Amino acid sequence: MSEPILKVTNIETYYGPIMAIRGVSFEVPKGAIVTILGANGAGKTTVLKTISGVMDPQKGAVQFEGREVQRMDPDRIMRLGISHVPEGREVFPFLTVRENLRMGAYTRKDPDGVAQDLETVFGYFPVLKERADQRAGSLSGGEQQMLAISRALMARPRLMLLDEPSLGLSPKLVGEIFDIVLRINRERGVTILLVEQNANKALHVADYGYVLEVGRIVMADTCARLLEKEDIKEFYLGIKEEGARGQRRWKKRKTWR
């Protein structure tokens, strides 16, 4: 991998007495799309919250562009260049689409640049331009996801954290969202760390992937190679291996959880 923009080293984060992630370490190369796969409860969202400062790790380090950011306030981390699109979108429901987008740029002091970026995100998601004066809470789930991604872009991040962008969306909308994610990465050079349960889509979009199970990273490789691994095929892509060998792998897998 190339030079990392993000380096996570041996982080441990708790919910009260419960350890949610256990000594997690990984890197995100500058300019890449990296995905973290895992079942519900594996700790994926906790990893993103720890990076963005929503949660503090009790141990370990998070380095962004060589600077340690763990235990910084979220607004400071955002100002350094990390935007977090949380699971569930979390738009401001009583503000208009345009007001939500301007909230994404509230730290910026370049009105001309903000206006330019507003037109850019309207180019990515034309429906948002049509709904610009509509309250965000009245948008569909897919439109709210588009708004959440666009609001994060308005901060001009160098690293974007995307948590389950396909959750609850139709296959058609999922395709559209991931097409735009690719464009954001290729056209704007934004590095993306993607948490996603749609493993097939994530592995075809991302460059590199990690598999998280019960708070630990158990597998890491390029997405091209992960797509060829039997465990990934069977347990994340739904491609079952037949015969005794497959039964042995299933029994082994059950012991991991």
pLDDT digits over 127-178, tens only?
Answer: 999 999 999 999 999 999 999 999 999 999 999 999 999 888 888 889 999 9
List, for residues 77-124, the tens digit of each pLDDT value: 999 999 999 988 789 999 999 999 999 999 999 999 999 999 999 999
Domains of the chain and CATH, by start: 4-89+157-226 (3.40.50.300)
Give CA 18 to chain center in angstroms.
23
Residue 14 parent element (H or E): strand 4-15
* CA 110 to each of CA 149, 181, 190: distance values in angstroms, whole numbers, following the listed order: 20, 25, 19
Q: Which two tokens stand for residue 35?
A: 């995905």
Residue owning tokens 């704007």: 188
Residue owning tokens 């592995």: 203
Please report, as a single letter, which amino acid is at residue 133: D
Q: Is the pLDDT of residue 29 over 80?
A: yes
What count of other Cβ atoms lies within 10 Å of the Cβ of residue 171?
10
Give the pLDDT of residue 204.
93
pTM, entire model: 0.88
Distance CA 168, CA 83 (A): 22
